Amino acid sequence: MSGFVSFVGSGPGDPELLTLKAVDRLKAADAILFDDLSSGPILEHASAKADLVGVGKRAGRPSPKQHHVSQLLVDYAKAGGHVVRLKSGDSGIFGRLEEEIDALRAAGIEFEIIPGVTSACAAAAAAQIPLTRRLLARRVQFVTGHDVAGALPGDLHLQSLADPGATTVLFMPKRTFPALAEKLFATGLRPDCPALLAENVSHPDQTLQRTTMAALADQLSNEISSAPGLILFGELAETP
């Protein structure tokens, strides 16, 4: 008999940001396939009998291919039992969730999706800012900073990203940010538009840097840390 798969969003890393349902599924799992950013104290909720399998992908490091991760998930599920696919943040946001769902559907394996706290929301909360504000920031947009080859996506809608009435959050942004900023300035975004660089969100070594788009682009042109991070920009990034 085939098993059952729970896609669990682990949040940005702080185990206290796990949902109650996420903790329940971790405790009940026979196997847990986890991302790098979902490891550490979060896995302390797992049963001592559960198989723990790291399948995380990080920029600039050797990582398993997506088709291998999907097949591994199918293989564990076909062996029976309850499998948790533990993804950082919320699995539906730049987590390649659909590819793994497609593999399960093709194999006839049932699944559920348990949402998690996105790193975007956690970063805004840590910085003590909202993502929206009446009359000022009417829209929030989440954008990936690189394509499958690690380059800046060529099909970004620059007019939307340069919209002064939006709060924009860039995921996996640091290596391509200088090039993106240059395009946005040419599209009309102010170089002094407020920006927030958040790294290691919700971890003890979290850092939050309030700056401007131009200053951050210059900084990342010269030095990029290996810490996972995101960039939030828009008028709300400068408060409080």
Domain residues of the chain, as ranges? 4-117, 120-238
- Catalytic residue, candidates 14, 35, 90, 163: 35
Residues 213-240 have pLDDT tens digits of 999 999 999 999 999 999 999 999 987 7
pLDDT value, residue 38: 86
DSSP string covering 176-209: THHHHHHHHHHHT--TT-EEEEEESTTSTT-EEE
pLDDT band at 76 (very low <50, low <70, confident <90, very high): very high
- First and final C-alpha spacing in the chain: 55
pLDDT value, residue 62: 57
Q: Does the annotation mark 213 as catalytic?
A: no
Question: How much is the average pLDDT of 153-166?
Answer: 94
- Catalytic residue, candidates 21, 36, 51, 57: 57
The CATH class, in words, for 120-238 is alpha beta
**pLDDT above 70 coverage of the chain, percent:** 96
Contact call for residues 230 and 120 (beta carbons, < 8 A): yes
Sort strands 31-34 and 51-54 into parallel, antiparallel or unpaired. parallel
Residues 177-198 have pLDDT tens digits of 999 999 999 999 999 999 999 9
Residues 102-116 have pLDDT tens digits of 999 999 999 999 999
pLDDT band at 63 (very low <50, low <70, confident <90, very high): low
Q: Which of the following CATH numbers is that of domain 4-117: 3.40.1010.10, 3.40.50.1000, 3.40.50.10170, 3.40.640.10?
A: 3.40.1010.10
Q: Give Cβ neighbours of residue 195 (< 8 Å, ≥ 6 apart).
A: 210, 211, 212, 213, 215, 216, 231, 232, 233, 237
pLDDT value, residue 56: 79
Q: Does the annotation mark 218 as catalytic?
A: no
Mean of per-residue pLDDT scores for the chain: 93
Q: Is residue 157 predicted with pLDDT exceeding 70? A: yes
pLDDT band at 73 (very low <50, low <70, confident <90, very high): very high
State which H helix or E strand residue 119 sits in: helix 119-126
- Catalytic residue, candidates 87, 90, 163, 172: 172
Q: Judge if 4-117 and 120-238 fold alike in CATH terms.
A: no
Read off φ and ψ for residue 31, nearest 5 degrees: -150, 145
